[in-house]
Amino acid sequence: MCTRACGTLHRRAQAKARRDADPETYREAERARQRESRRRRREAASAAPMVVERSPPRGEVSRAEFAAQVRAIVTVIVENVDKAAALSRAEFGVQVVKIVKEGVHILGKACA
């Protein structure tokens, strides 16, 4: 091989030729690889469940309680972000949206 890029192209062409020569074996190997990947992601997601603590509904909130609630929400978000660091980017994005929606919901009740 003349360069690294040339070697990469050569290996890709060889892999494509192997796949084309025996498509059933390739498909079965690909299905097994995907099953294993999904199993690992499920185990990782179940090992670190995302929990958002909810405060009980209240009436009027004083300024002191509001500041305490904001700190509590920030603490929950930081804990959940730490747990989410082990997740995939897609799952992390979903969890961030849930956390922000819950935080806005709690802050909205506190401001009302």
Which of 87 and 40 is assigned the larger pLDDT? 40
30 and 61 housed in the same domain: no
108 and 53 housed in the same domain: yes
61 and 110 housed in the same domain: yes
pTM attached to this predicted model: 0.37
The residue segments making up the domain with residue 97 are 49-112
94 and 69 housed in the same domain: yes
User: Using one digit for the tens of pLDDT, what is the confidence trace for 29-83?
Assistant: 999 999 999 999 888 877 766 555 555 555 555 555 667 777 888 888 888 777 7
69 and 108 housed in the same domain: yes
- Number of structural domains in the chain: 2
pLDDT of residue 51: 59
Tell me the average pLDDT across 3-30: 92
- Tokens representing 111 are 């401001």
DSSP string, 5-69: HHHHHHHHHHHHHHHHH-HHHHHHHHHHHHHHHHHHHHHHHHHS------PPP-SS--HHHHHHH
State the angle between helix axes of 63-84 and 89-111 in degrees (0 to 180), rounded to the nearest 10: 170
